[in-house]
Amino acid sequence: MAELYYDTLAPGDISETLKPQIEALGLARNCSQLAEEGWTVIENAADPDFSNRLRETILRLARNGGANMLLAKDPVFAEAILNPSLQAMAEFSVGRGFLISQVAASVRPKGAGTIGLHADHNCLPAPFPAHNILLTACWACDEYSEAGGATLIIPGTNRFRRHPDADEIKDLSNAVAIECPAGAIALWDGNLWHSNYPRTLDGERVVCHITYTRLMMRQVEDYSAHADSLIETYGEPMARML
């Protein structure tokens, strides 16, 4: 009979089973920052060739500024969601047995506006649970900068465990840009208030948006029609996430 576990870790704690992987991947600081401030950045999660392939594939598939259901459309997206650093951070943030909820992309040209301040726990009433429900990972295929249309965050708002009100949506005095090189992955939890800066540079900002969620939650995207072939190709980790 399988051993059952009833103990619950406090938010921000790393389980004894996950700790060796976190240490081996050098992610301890990322875990602390994600727990305390609601966001973090993983640099050099993959080689430049992978990020280039990811960017080219998104541009090939994107229509009207974006694309969704990408896990069913090209193997490069399975590589992305199975990245060891992302898998470890997802387990830390949304628990063992986490699910893949969405694999989407955005392509933002010069002049693209903002999406407005919000928390990704937009289907939950406040107060949000103490334990995070949803983790967003944005694979930056281009350099993230304020002028380039980077994600705007208000660090520490993850602790409020609620949605911003109308005045707070307008007041961005404490906002900062997530700035990182191409190939880095920006992550934030479902509580963090965030938006984006308008892009004023030439060219495009290409991002792959990956969302993981807790086991008991319904996923945003339904991959059941593609599950058999995905599991046959990628095995147990894919079966668990679907």
Two tokens, residue 65: 């500024």
Given a contact cutoff of 8 angstroms between Cβ atoms, the answer to whether 241 and 100 are in contact is yes
The per-residue pLDDT string of the chain (242 residues; one tens digit each, 9 = 90 and over) reads 566 666 789 999 999 999 999 999 999 999 999 999 999 999 988 999 999 999 999 999 999 999 999 999 999 999 999 999 999 999 999 999 999 999 999 999 999 989 999 999 988 999 999 999 999 999 999 999 999 999 999 999 999 999 999 999 999 999 999 999 999 999 999 999 999 999 999 999 999 999 999 999 999 999 999 999 999 999 999 999 99
Determine contact, residues 112/199, Cβ cutoff 8 Å: yes
Cβ neighbours around 84 below 10 Å, total:
13
Residues 6+ apart with CB under 8 A from 178: 39, 41, 144, 150, 151, 152, 153, 186
Omega before residue 127 within 30° of 0, cis = yes
What's the pTM? 0.95
Positive or negative: CA dihedral 199, 201, 204, 206 = negative
